[in-house]
Amino acid sequence: MKIVAIIPARGGSKGVPGKNIRQFAGKPLVVHSIEQALSVSLIENVFVSTDDEEIAEISQNAGASIIKRPAELSGDSATSESAIGHAISQMISEGIDPDIIVFLQATSPLRPEDGIAQALKKFISFEYDSLLSLSPTHRFFWKLREDEAIAQYDYLNRPRRQDIKDDDRQYVENGSLYIFKKETFLKTGNRLGGRIGYTIFEEEYSYEIDTETDFTVLEKLAQEMWKSGRLTVIT
């Protein structure tokens, strides 16, 4: 059973220009995900899919193999699924035929220690077709219908955070980690499909970098987590 990791990291970013190689807590942002993937013994190869030469050089120096992504799959409208499909095709053409793919987004640099390894072990043990990381949220959700706000909870009996029952707790897809069988992706064209499992990352690991504010806040959070011992790898 061959397991590989794919990390997408295109060069163009309007929200945070150059974010994938911008220094985050002492090293380029993409390097955090590369090093986390390389630390998992079950993962045989770590690939970075990119259209950018500088990202490729930095990623290669950090220990990743490079999949050169064509321009038509690197614009703002390009999907992660298109990058995954291209990466699988390139790997197979080079004689690497993965059974399981671990998909990590560089914009989610904070993950629990052993979070990837534990998720992968669960994926294999429970024989899932795909798996994603979720984070609990205590927020109350609403929908909008024209000029009216529609509550998605019983606002007349608003629970305290500590009183929310497990069955009533809501979870968000944090975008940090996806695991799936190659065959499931080829069948569905999506990173999620078939029997879907999950792993829980606590709320502090759920934040993604999409804006300058995200970058600043998340880097500060990383430093605080490191000082308190909740994050062990940061230099």
Return the active site residues. Answer: 158
What Å distances lie between residue 36 and 6, 84, 133, 146, 156, CA to CA?
12, 19, 15, 45, 45
Which residue do the tokens 């605080």 mark? 224
Give burial (CB, 10 Å; 0-12/13-18/19+) of 37: buried
What Å distances lie between residue 119 and 5, 146, 189, 206, 210, CA to CA?
13, 41, 22, 15, 25
The answer to whether residues 233 and 113 touch, using CB atoms and an 8 Å cutoff, is yes
The answer to whether residues 122 and 195 touch, using CB atoms and an 8 Å cutoff, is no
